[in-house]
């Protein structure tokens, strides 16, 4: 053996190494309550950050503790929060500056936890000279330095394709189906899709609960205006559960509720992941106006004050915390849902 082939002694660096990973969870002002719940489920303290809006409307962020080398999970739905005076655009801009501040502070990995992905409905051009705003949001997040995005029940699956970074898609459907299986109902349930685009979700929902499903024929003559025609399926004498990914102005939902009641349903319950509830939604959804006995949503979007009594809010904190834990540990996220977290 030549001298060159002899084993050379290994040089050991005198610089101390600590390869222990560190997780930190921060909340934006649009989702601070949900972020606190998630941190509690993960058994970590919610990170402290100075988040402010200046007099001219500009947002500001400064982390009040060192985040160098840590995996940072930033919880912020790009939705309005009336209590904090936040609009969806404020929430989006705040998330962007939080990502930039984390990148400049040498965070190891920056994960945007966006339970509600704002602008997700504008995922294609429906008319000439329109933007694809869901893609614009994705480009902004990547341009400012996000490493990964965690979101829940996107309005359409193709939004994931607007990212070159990894996107983990969660679904609240297991939690929502469990809620309906745990309740005692006076009548048989039937799961109803408010339009043909959500048929797969309604079918999977019905299979989980163990009941039949139906679908509505619907036309939308203009934005935020819905016209529902008829029901395909048997709802006679049953409790119809209208399942959708979101409730915004509730025009679609109240029209659908009227249709199933006219078709002979004994009662109507609504179920959705995201309760946007903008504009006249609260007034429309009140039982005396809509005939909907119960509206079940999650806390991906904070409720604005004055909600009607028939709204029930479930927390998605456990599902999001489980996903964050697996991302941090580099484990499979889809195992949480047995591979069924793509319901499109």
Catalytic site residues?
218
Tokens of residue 339, six digits: 């591979």
- How far apart, in whole angstroms, are the C-alpha atoms of residue 43 and residue 41? 5
Residues 6+ apart with CB under 8 A from 250: 277, 280, 281, 284, 285, 290
Task: Tell me how far apart the alpha carbons of residues 89 and 95 are, in angstroms, rounded to a whole number.
Answer: 10
Tell me which residue of 173, 157, 121, 113 sits closest to 298, measured CA to CA: 173
DSSP string for 302-324: PPPS---TTEEEE--HHHHHHHH
User: Are the C-beta atoms of 238 and 261 separated by less than 8 Å?
Assistant: no
Distance of CA 111 to the CA centre of its chain: 14
């Amino acid at each position: 053996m030549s001298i060159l082939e002899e084993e050379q002694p290994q040089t050991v660096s005198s610089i101390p190494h600590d390869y222990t990973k560190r997780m930190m969870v921060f909340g934006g002002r649009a989702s601070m309550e949900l972020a606190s719940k998630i941190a509690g489920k993960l058994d970590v303290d919610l990170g402290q950050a100075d988040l402010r809006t200046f007099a001219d409307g500009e947002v500001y962020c400064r982390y009040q503790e060192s985040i160098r080398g840590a995996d940072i999970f930033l919880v912020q739905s790009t939705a309005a929060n009336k209590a904090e005076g936040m609009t969806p655009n404020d929430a989006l801009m705040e998330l962007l500056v939080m990502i930039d501040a984390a990148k400049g502070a040498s965070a190891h990995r920056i994960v945007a936890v966006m339970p509600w992905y704002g602008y997700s409905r504008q995922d294609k051009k429906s008319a000439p000279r329109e933007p694809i705003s869901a893609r614009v949001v994705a480009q902004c997040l990547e341009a400012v330095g996000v490493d990964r995005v965690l979101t829940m029940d996107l309005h359409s699956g193709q939004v994931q394709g607007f990212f070159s970074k990894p996107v983990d898609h969660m679904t609240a459907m297991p939690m929502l189906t469990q809620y309906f299986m745990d309740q005692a109902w006076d009548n048989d349930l039937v799961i109803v899709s408010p339009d043909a685009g959500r048929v797969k979700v309604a079918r999977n929902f019905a299979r989980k609960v163990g009941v039949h499903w139906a679908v509505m024929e619907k036309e939308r003559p203009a934005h935020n205006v819905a016209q529902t025609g008829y029901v395909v399926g048997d709802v006679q004498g049953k409790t119809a559960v209208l399942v959708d990914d979101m409730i915004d102005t509730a025009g679609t939902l109240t029209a659908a509720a009227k249709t199933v009641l006219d078709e002979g349903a004994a009662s109507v319950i609504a179920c959705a992941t995201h309760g946007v509830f903008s504009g006249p939604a609260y007034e429309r959804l009140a039982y005396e106006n809509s005939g909907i006995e119960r509206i079940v949503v999650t806390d991906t979007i904070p409720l604005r004050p004055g909600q009607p009594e028939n709204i029930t809010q479930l927390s998605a904190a456990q599902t999001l915390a489980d996903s964050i834990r697996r991302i941090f540990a580099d484990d499979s996220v889809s195992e949480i849902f047995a591979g069924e977290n793509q319901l499109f």
